C-alpha cells in the first residue's frame, strides 16, 4: 500500500506550511532590510519624503507590511490545508 498514515500525512502538510511561513518571514525581513538600509543609508539631508515620512521608512514600515499581510492571506487561502489535530480512530 502506498497510502500514508494520517499522522504522516499531517506531518507532511505541516512541514510544507512551515516552509511557506518561513519563506514569507525571510522575504519580509529582506524587503524591510533592503528598503530601510538601502534608501536610508545616505545623509538625512538627502532623504526623499512620502506623506511626511522618509521614503525608506514609508516603504519598509508601511508598504512592506501591507504587502506581507496580503501575501499571508493569499498563502492561507491557496496553500494551507484545514486539518484536524485530534487523534483519529482507525476503523477496521
Domain membership of residue 1 (yes or no) is no
Within-domain flag for 87: no
Q: For residue range 35-82, what is the model confidence (pLDDT) as tens digits?
A: 999 988 889 899 999 999 999 999 999 999 999 999 999 999 999 988
Is pLDDT larger for residue 2 or for residue 11? 11
Residue 86 lies in a domain: no
Q: Is 33 part of a structural domain of the chain?
A: yes
Domain containing residue 18: 8-78
- Residue 29 confidence (pLDDT): 97
Q: Is residue 20 part of a domain?
A: yes
Report yes or no on 2 lying in a domain: no
Q: What is the pLDDT of residue 92?
A: 45
Distances (CA, A) of 86 to 6, 16, 46, 83: 11, 19, 58, 9
Mean pLDDT of 5-16: 86
Domain count, the chain: 1
Residue 22 has a pLDDT of 98
Amino acid at each position: 500500500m502506498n497510502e500514508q498514515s494520517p499522522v504522516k500525512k499531517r506531518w507532511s502538510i505541516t512541514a510544507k506550511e512551515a516552509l511557506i511561513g518561513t519563506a514569507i518571514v525571510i522575504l519580509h525581513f529582506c524587503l524591510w532590510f533592503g528598503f530601510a538600509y538601502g534608501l536610508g543609508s545616505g545623509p538625512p539631508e538627502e532623504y526623499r519624503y512620502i506623506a511626511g515620512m522618509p521614503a525608506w521608512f514609508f516603504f519598509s514600515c508601511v508598504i512592506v507590511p501591507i504587502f506581507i499581510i496580503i501575501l499571508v492571506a493569499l498563502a492561507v487561502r491557496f496553500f494551507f490545508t484545514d486539518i484536524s489535530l485530534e487523534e483519529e480512530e482507525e476503523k477496521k
